[in-house]
Chains A and B, each alone.
Chain A
Amino acid sequence: MYEFASGPLVWIAFIVFLGGMTFQIVRMVQMAKKDKVIPYMSLKYGLRSLLHWVVPFASKNMRVRYEVTIVTFAFHLCLVLLPIFLTAHVAMFAFAWGARWATVSENLATFMTVLVILGGLFFLVRRLMLPEVRFVTSASDYLLLAIAAAPFVTGFAAHQQWFHYETMVLVHMISGAVMLMAIPFTRLSHMLFFPFTRAYMGSEFGAVRNAKDW
């Protein structure tokens, strides 16, 4: 089982992830032609808007909801960067392919993992406590949060040698693969679509309406 999870499953996960992302992009572009969207896209104004929404506190709502902004940036940065630069992950790639790249220290890795888990908890509490969030929450929202947080919770547990180590590592690998494969086909695809939706709104506001959207 460990051999499968550390070998073929990783391949499958990456193929589904990259294939799914490509499929979604191609489908979006095809639909964009039908929607008369492309002629209105502007590189300049699209990037201008994106810039105001990827720099913390550069938009008004990010300043109004500063606590969400801080957690969101910490959560997403750690969630994306940690798996790429984790020593254990790099070592596995090095072992399999001989490729290696920079890694983060163990302490930093632990810190980043804790940030992701706390961020996930924050989102969970927010979802349960704030009426305007709870009202639009369904089971799928909890499931998506669980899918995103699971690799970090299990990775942390494995690292801390909680429960049965081998089992925990296996669960960790499977949960990581599940998350990767879920990204293109669930609302986790905001990872993929966010730059496009933002750039389109930025283009509409900037190039067409001569206004700001942040």
Chain B
Amino acid sequence: MGVPAIEIPTVSDPGLDEAVKTLTTERIQEVINRIISKETAARFRTYLNTCVHCGLCSDACHWFLSNDRDPRFSPVGKVKQTLWEILKKKGRVDPYFLRECSRIAHTECNVCRRCSMYCPFGIDIAYLLLVIRRICSECGMVPQFLQDTVNSHAVTLNQMWVKQDEWIDTLQWQEEEMRSEVPTVRIPLDKEGADVFYSVIAPEPKILAQLIGNMALIMTVAGVDWTMPSFDGWDNSNMAMYSGDFEVMGRVERAHHEAALKLRAKRIVMGECGHAFRGAVYDGPRWLGWREPPVPVIHAVDFYHELIFSGKIKIARKFEEPVTVQDPCNIVRGRGLGQKLREIIQATCADFTPPEPAFEHNYCCGAGGGVINCGPPWKTSRVTGNRVKAEQLAATKAHIVITPCHNCHSGIEDVISVYKLGQHVKFFSEILVDVMEIPDELKAD
């Protein structure tokens, strides 16, 4: 055993504490045996039989690096403390042990997959931790805040308990806001056969509605034929994918794609969110048995790139403040959009300093993978678990961190405030509406 360098404080979380009281070892064992025998196969077995316990994945993990190289935070260390123990005991583990599994798998791993790029065998360690999350979820052992978002998905098909009238009202409000600048701005609802079906994550109408307004302005200036649905399926986020409730994950992804199909949209453009993109493109379709998403899906970064480099959006002036970028795992390691992201930043910003490490090798923001959704109880461990991110951002000396992902945006905001970096976070759309040319004929008098 390695010497534990730091004490991991016990965090009180009603989602976990209540589950400990009601669960039994027998129930846990039944769930574990069912999940492992019914839902795992080649990857699970082969990964476990191939891992030689070399520890070379450790240097990949921001949790490990930030916690003074404490071996409990290394990718394989997390697998050892959870899966290996479970298999050694043939699933006969007690509720307290399962609580530890949830802490490790739900709150101390961002399933960012950086470790797969450091494992000599390419073992998908994040997948093994998702199996643990699946087991925890089936046992009802999920951090309360995360489970609440899943409950919202299950009931409303969106993450934040947004009702349909609130959704439509928010869109109309944002449309009106933007009309003060460009009177022709419209957010066309339920338009059939549009070129673009635009979807967002539920926190946008709930707390960041101006982002929808930004997009309405961008779409209008670029002359895009677009629509948003007035009905369920508008939310492209998916926290069930991260809690381990794959049944709800499948329902949410199906609703999203079916909304686009119902409106016969040519393609789906997703807002600046990484996990939502992962859900819509990979995890969701795979669970549903679709090899590819039924409607082509592109991320906002890809879309902005198209608008800027096709000349549909012209840049009037460059953004002057020094900027750097957070390469979101799910669109850079998950879609290779790092180069396009740099191109749109260079087209719009005068002073860009790239981070180091970058592209696929960038560190996760620490918030992704559902970790930030575990809520305030886990904020301290999340931010102390990402000290390397603060060091990386500080080294760029940038004033603004461009984060084309909601989780990155919130996670990095926390890192900046706790480590007192004095920087600010912006979505790319905020930069774009600031610097793009609005033709005179579109402007309000």
Q: Which residues of A contact B (CB under 8 A)?
A: 28-29, 31-32, 34-37, 39, 49, 53, 59-62, 64-65, 68, 72, 130-138, 141, 144, 187, 189-190, 193-194, 196-202, 204-205, 208-214
Q: Chain A residues with Cβ under 8 A from B122's Cβ?
A: 49, 53, 197-202, 213
Task: Check if B1 sits within 8 Å of A194, measured CB to CB.
Answer: no
Cβ < 8 Å to A, chain B residues 45-91? 45-47, 49-56, 58-60, 64, 69-72, 74, 76-77, 80
Given contacts A193-B46, A197-B121, A201-B116, contact A134 B59 (CB under 8 A): no
A187/B52 contact (C-beta < 8 A), A35-B42, A37-B42, A202-B122 known: yes
9 contacts between A and B (CB under 8 A): A61-B117, A65-B59, A132-B77, A134-B1, A134-B2, A135-B72, A187-B51, A205-B333, A211-B336
Chain A residues within an 8 Å CB radius of B43? 35, 37, 200
Q: Which residue of A lies closest to B47 (CB)?
A: A197
Whether A132 lies near B333 (C-beta < 8 A) is: no
Q: Which residue of chain B has its CB nearest to the CB of A134?
A: B2
Q: Mark B115-136, 1 if CB is under 8 A from A, else 0.
A: 0111011111000000000000
Q: Choose from B42, B56, B80, B121 the contact partner of A34 (Cβ within 8 Å).
A: B42
Q: Give Cα distance in the complex from A91 to B336, angstroms.
A: 54
Option from A35, A39, A212 in Cβ contact (under 8 Å) with B291: A39
Q: Which residues of B contact A199 (CB under 8 A)?
A: 122
Q: Are A196 and B336 in contact (CB under 8 A)?
A: no
**Contacting pair B54 A133 (CB below 8 A):** yes
Contact of A135 among B74, B121, B289, B334 (CB under 8 A): B74
Name the 3 nearest CB pairs between A and B, nearest first.
Answer: A201-B122, A210-B336, A131-B2
Option from A61, A136, A210, A212 in Cβ contact (under 8 Å) with B120: A61
Report the separation of the CA atoms of residues A28 and B282 in the bound assembly, to the nearest whole angstrom.
23
Q: Is B41 an interface residue (CB 8 A)?
A: yes
Question: B444 an interface residue at 8 Å Cβ cutoff?
Answer: no
Q: B312 to chain A: closest CB distance in Å?
A: 23
- Closest chain-A Cβ to B217's Cβ sits at a distance in Å of 29
Chain B, residue nearest A209 (CB): B334
Can you name the residue of chain A whose Cβ is closest to the Cβ of B73?
A132
Q: How many residues of B contact A (CB 8 A)?
A: 51
Question: Which B299-357 residues have C-beta < 8 A from chain A?
Answer: 332-337
A208 touches B71 (CB 8 A): no
Contact with A along B1-36 (1 / 0, CB 8 A): 111000000000000000000000000000000000
Partner of B56, one of A68, A144, A213: A68
B286 at the interface (CB under 8 A from A): yes
Counting CB contacts under 8 A, is B108 at the interface? Answer: no
Q: Is the CB of B74 within 8 A of A132?
A: yes
Q: Which residues of B contact A132 (CB under 8 A)?
A: 2, 55, 58, 64, 69, 71, 74, 76-77
**B361, A60: Cβ atoms under 8 Å?**
yes
Tell me the complex Cα distance, A62–B118, Å: 8
Is the contact region of chain A dominated by helix, strand, or loop, or is it mixed? helix
- Whether A214 pairs with B80 at a CB distance below 8 angstroms is no
Instruction: Report yes or no: B46 in contact with A196, Cβ–Cβ below 8 A.
Output: yes
Instruction: Flag whether B253 is at the interface (Cβ < 8 A).
Output: no
Q: Which chain B residues border A64 with CB–CB below 8 Å?
A: 59
A194-B50 in contact given A132-B58, A136-B71, A211-B332 (Cβ < 8 Å): yes
Q: Are A32 and B3 in contact (CB under 8 A)?
A: no
B59→A61 contact, CB < 8 A: yes
Does B245 make an interface contact (CB < 8 A)? no
Residues of B within 8 A of A49 (CB): 122
Q: Which residues of chain B are within 8 angstroms of A130 by Cβ–Cβ distance?
A: 55
Q: Out of B49, B59, B80, B289, which one reaches A136, CB within 8 Å? A: B80
Evaluate contact between A60 and B117: CB separation under 8 angstroms. Answer: yes
| Apart from A60-B117, A205-B333, A211-B335: 9 A-B pairs, beta carbons within 8 A | A28-B46, A64-B59, A132-B2, A135-B77, A187-B52, A189-B49, A189-B50, A193-B50, A210-B337
Given contacts A34-B41, A37-B43, contact A208 B121 (CB under 8 A): no
Find B53's partner among A31, A53, A137 (CB 8 Å cutoff).
A137
Question: Is B49's CB under 8 angstroms from A214's CB?
Answer: no
**Bound CA span A133–B72, Å:** 11
The answer to whether A61 and B60 have CB atoms under 8 Å apart is yes
Given A209-B333, A210-B335, A211-B334, answer yes or no on A136-B55 (Cβ-Cβ < 8 Å).
yes
The chain B residue with its CB closest to the CB of A214 is B117
Q: Is there contact, CB below 8 Å, between A131 and B46?
A: no
